[in-house]
Amino acid sequence: MWSGKKRAVTFSFDDGVRQDVRVVEILNKYGLKGTFNLNSGTLGMGGETNWLPKVVSYARVQAEEVRDVYAGHEVAVHTVNHPHLTKLTDDEIVREVEDDRAALSKLCGYEVIGLAYPCGDYDDRVVELLRTRTGVRYGRGVIGAKDFSLPKEQDLFSFDPTIYFIDEKFEEKVDEFLALDTDEPQMLYIWGHAYELDAELITWEKFEAICKKLAGRSEIFYGTNKEVLL
């Protein structure tokens, strides 16, 4: 696991927006890896956000670009239409997940097995359905985790990221992780939406500076979500 290293860093971005292209460029520049959770039902759509402090583009990556834009990283399920899964029937949940998985697997040319819950919304019923009726192997929420511990097998469908990158404690958390001296596997799992960078909830400059700080350490494993978790 992790080429024998004890610490791992991974990123996760939701919604498949065009700003992902710039995020991938930054991750590639610093040898970092991430997972991008896409809604196959909204690929190619245009539009802008009106719920952020600043109006920014909310346009989505085109279906035919998915393979190239995310090459070298992982594509994962964010459901076809981004519903609150807990509000759906069992069959609707399975369809939202498995139809997205099938569509994305076809676009990427490999089997997609990860998932980020739309709006972080899940409960025991959703988890059980994912485990028993889909090909998904892990599911991520949105609440900041308390520490850097790796999710146990039984928590793989209900684990939380370490930190949301618009959190004011983001850099502090990164510094804390870099200062760890550990014999147990520890991960720094960073998530967000790339359009939040255009909205300056975190600036592109700060994001890149933190990527640079995390990069190039021989004692750290840099992987996609599935490489870090499974």
Question: Which residues contact Zn ion (rule: CB under 5 A)?
Answer: 14-15, 118
Q: Which residue is nearest to Zn ion (CB)?
A: 14
Smallest gap from Cβ 79 to Zn ion, in A, equals 9
Q: Which is nearer to Zn ion, 14 or 198 (CB)?
A: 14
Smallest gap from Cβ 139 to Zn ion, in A, equals 13
Q: Which is nearer to Zn ion, 15 or 74 (CB)?
A: 15
Q: Which of 135, 117, 162 is nearest to 14 (CA)?
A: 117
Smallest gap from Cβ 200 to Zn ion, in A, equals 19
Q: How far apart are CA 211 and CA 213, in angstroms?
A: 5
Q: Are the CB atoms for 154 and 178 separated by under 8 Å?
A: no
Q: Are the CB atoms for 189 and 10 separated by under 8 Å?
A: yes
Q: Which is nearer to Zn ion, 14 or 100 (CB)?
A: 14
Q: Which is nearer to Zn ion, 26 or 85 (CB)?
A: 85
Q: Which is nearer to Zn ion, 7 or 140 (CB)?
A: 140
Smallest gap from Cβ 2 to Zn ion, in A, equals 28
Smallest gap from Cβ 169 to Zn ion, in A, equals 22
Residue 159 sits at φ, ψ, to 5 deg, of -100, 165
Q: How far apart are CA 138 and CA 226, in angstroms?
A: 8
Q: How far apart are CA 33 and CA 28, in angstroms?
A: 7
Smallest gap from Cβ 96 to Zn ion, in A, equals 13
Residue 33 sits at φ, ψ, to 5 deg, of -130, 145
Number of Cβ within 10 Å of residue 98's Cβ equals 18
Token pair for 158: 């209900």
C-alpha distances in Å from residue 217, one per residue of 71, 113, 148, 161: 23, 28, 18, 21
Q: Which is nearer to Zn ion, 118 or 148 (CB)?
A: 118
